[in-house]
Structure 1
């Protein structure tokens, strides 16, 4: 009898040891994924330090990192097998876009950056479950948000010092402990841009994490996590970001009818209205842009960023005008449409429409097709919600031109394989 008990104890100890070992391996795997996701956000064209700071060594490191990361990942995981349909889609797009670049007399630099994101999409979709990847993205963005929000509050309260800096476009800003801030209202309040080149780029990343938290993941302390993301979003003072965030939260309330979030939404709206009564100038800074939509500023930029590239696409429907010719074409067509000079560097802010204009209909259709499939994934196949999410993403990416944002293409490839990734999906809780 004692012998049987000893055998049972030994077996349970071995089983527990193996389970603990598997758990540690899974944790290690997840932490490695978080490191890769963090690097993709930090060492990118959309960060300030590696994108628009003008620091030459950082720009070189960024290009090397973006181009060689897929090669390194595939080399390390050389035994991994990939879906044939993903490989075929990747090859077809490569041929079309390379042909477009050659026909327009452009170099292959921009297509290589786009394909780096697509190749990463093929890799991550096979290597990590959709929940693992979305959860890692949300965790990294949450950490960046919390850090930048604390620094933003301390700088506004004059607890921490800030140093004046500028970007490659000579825009004035300040920095403190790695975070970047844009001034508004004669410098009395600053806009939180975190590590990113503009608050508009930061708000897109925040809103994507907010969508994952509300609609896809089942994280512990979700209320707190959502609250941090929303507070950070408000600190950006981004018109498009706040509008998109409200659309996301209202969609969640309509879908879930959750009383906790209903009270949060009511509190947020009352706070914004009270903020507006206390200082009308701040509200004009955020929402006054719509008053001059036909004349100047951010409102005109969003309006023209759809019409101008759309007309360029109509003139170059198959292969686009090319990224080298795009600035001149944008200014020419803009003058034809609005009888005024339009700066392509500052006002060409629509990611999806710019892809149509630069690379033509093939890549443009891929972008919208990928977006729709990704939105079907996060809405679990509901077509009405998928279309609505497409509109939310289009609104967000109308504020910034981010064709080299690798996560777009990674999300698309998860969307293309929606049925397979959802069939094996398990909701995880982050402790």
Structure 2
């Protein structure tokens, strides 16, 4: 019965739903081509496509179909007010404020455009395809590195070079080859993969073990320390859910087996341990080490404490970040070393936006389960995500946060209407 329902769902997801989802994943600040590419043509094209997407979503959804006085629209308006107040009190007129509001508007519209099941199904579908492609590229790059030289070499805005395979990029800048798919960094890719695992374990009616295995393998290939910690926390959270069926019991057994195999592999292989966890002990700011991550938290929080009501604004933030990091560790770090979305929002926009951001993370965590323990674990995972990368200008991040504000009652209502 579920297979018939799955085929019915897939058949009814017409090309327009797939194209819109393609845009929010591929044409994003999170990707290499449209995020960190030094070629301005890509960035300009992104704005044009977002404008067309906004007009399309507004025309398709219409004001009549949007339910007002819900958490989603209330939080969106509060975010918009907070951003405009920051701009006004800092005498800062910048396109960055408009872009930030625009992304949350798109996130709100996308949540209203897709039904609950559509969003989850399409997200898993696209990330699965990306994971398969990236794993193939990763294996080929590891075995025959010369093959990658066939593809064009490009340099991003930070000066790092990659070979652009269009559906995947391969960076030769790391000590070890790391899977980053289409994204600007392996750390960003691992967030998308872990979100896919959260959807698979906590949101889907039936868990697809093939998808789960592919997502896990892709996470392993990123060699991201945070990815392993987040994945382990998600798995532990799932073990606290109630096993209502034999399928869920088998899934738990599958997860326990993967955890044990991973621990044994890391314990036996000193090289694997060094690749994944060796950088934690490094003191190299340039490679996104623990020092840079820690400093970005403390520096941003200090900036927030000195400007807690309205923040420092977009214009003054880069110079202040350098000043505060210089005072902390004697090194003036550029904002490119800043990896914490939460504390950055507090520093730039102040208390209101920062509080709303944390509230949205809590709402997303609450959607995963009725169990308080599971919710706490998932909330910690979300904190890891947004402490590992700066996702302020991520359309998928804005959409996920708005998705978390949709109650299950509203989601079920949308499903019935769909």
Report SS of the residue matched to 2:322. helix
2:241 is aligned with 1:249: no
2:383 is aligned with 1:399: no
How many residues end up aligned between the 2 structures?
Answer: 400
Residue 290 of structure 1 is matched in structure 2 by 280
Residue 308 of structure 2 is matched in structure 1 by 317
Q: TM-score, normalised by structure 2?
A: 0.86
Residue 368 of structure 2 is matched in structure 1 by 378
Instruction: Return 5+ residue gaps in structure 1 as ranges.
Output: 1-19
Residue 364 of structure 1 is matched in structure 2 by 354
Q: 1:76 to 1:151 in 2, by over 3 A?
A: same
Cα distance, 1:204 vs structure 2: 0.5
1:109 to 75, 81, 95: 95
Instruction: Give the structure, 1 or 2, with the largest relative contact order (CA under 8 Å, sep 6 or more).
Output: 2
1-side partners of 2:174 and 2:34: how far apart? 28
1:193 to 150, 157, 180: 180
1-side partners of 2:60 and 2:174: how far apart? 51
Cα distance, 1:88 vs structure 2: 4.5
Q: 1:382 to 1:266 in 2, by over 3 A?
A: closer
2-side partners of 1:139 and 1:87: how far apart? 28
* Matching of residues 286-365 of structure 1 within 5 Å: 286-292=276-282, 297-338=288-329, 340-365=330-355
2-side partners of 1:307 and 1:300: how far apart? 11
Residue 413 of structure 1 is matched in structure 2 by 402
Task: Please give the per-residue CA displacement for 1:386-426, whole angstroms capped at 9, x wherever unaligned.
Answer: 23211111112211101111233323333323142354487
1-side partners of 2:9 and 2:93: how far apart? 43
Instruction: Return 5+ residue gaps in structure 2 as ranges.
Output: 244-248
Q: 1:150 to 1:265 in 2, by over 3 A?
A: farther
* Preserved CA contact (<8 Å) 1:351 1:398: yes
2:36 is aligned with 1:52: yes
2:130 is aligned with 1:141: no
Q: 1:290 to 1:82 in 2, by over 3 A?
A: same
1:157 to 143, 155, 161: 143
* Preserved CA contact (<8 Å) 1:253 1:262: no
Cα distance, 1:308 vs structure 2: 1.2
Structure with bigger gyration radius = 1
Moved more, 95-104 or 177-186: 177-186
Cα distance, 1:51 vs structure 2: 1.2
Q: 1:328 to 1:79 in 2, by over 3 A?
A: closer
Moved more, 258-267 or 53-62: 258-267
Residue 15 of structure 1 is matched in structure 2 by none
Q: TM-score, normalised by structure 1?
A: 0.84
2-side partners of 1:238 and 1:25: how far apart? 34
Cα distance, 1:127 vs structure 2: 3.2
Cα distance, 1:293 vs structure 2: 6.4
Q: 1:171 to 1:269 in 2, by over 3 A?
A: farther
1:228 to 199, 211, 214: 214
Residue 204 of structure 1 is matched in structure 2 by 191
Cα distance, 1:206 vs structure 2: 0.6
* Preserved CA contact (<8 Å) 2:230 2:384: yes
2:7 is aligned with 1:27: no
2:54 is aligned with 1:70: yes
* Preserved CA contact (<8 Å) 1:191 1:199: yes
Task: Please give the per-residue CA displacement for 1:199-241, whole angstroms capped at 9, x wherever unaligned.
Answer: 0110111100110001111346x11110000000111111111
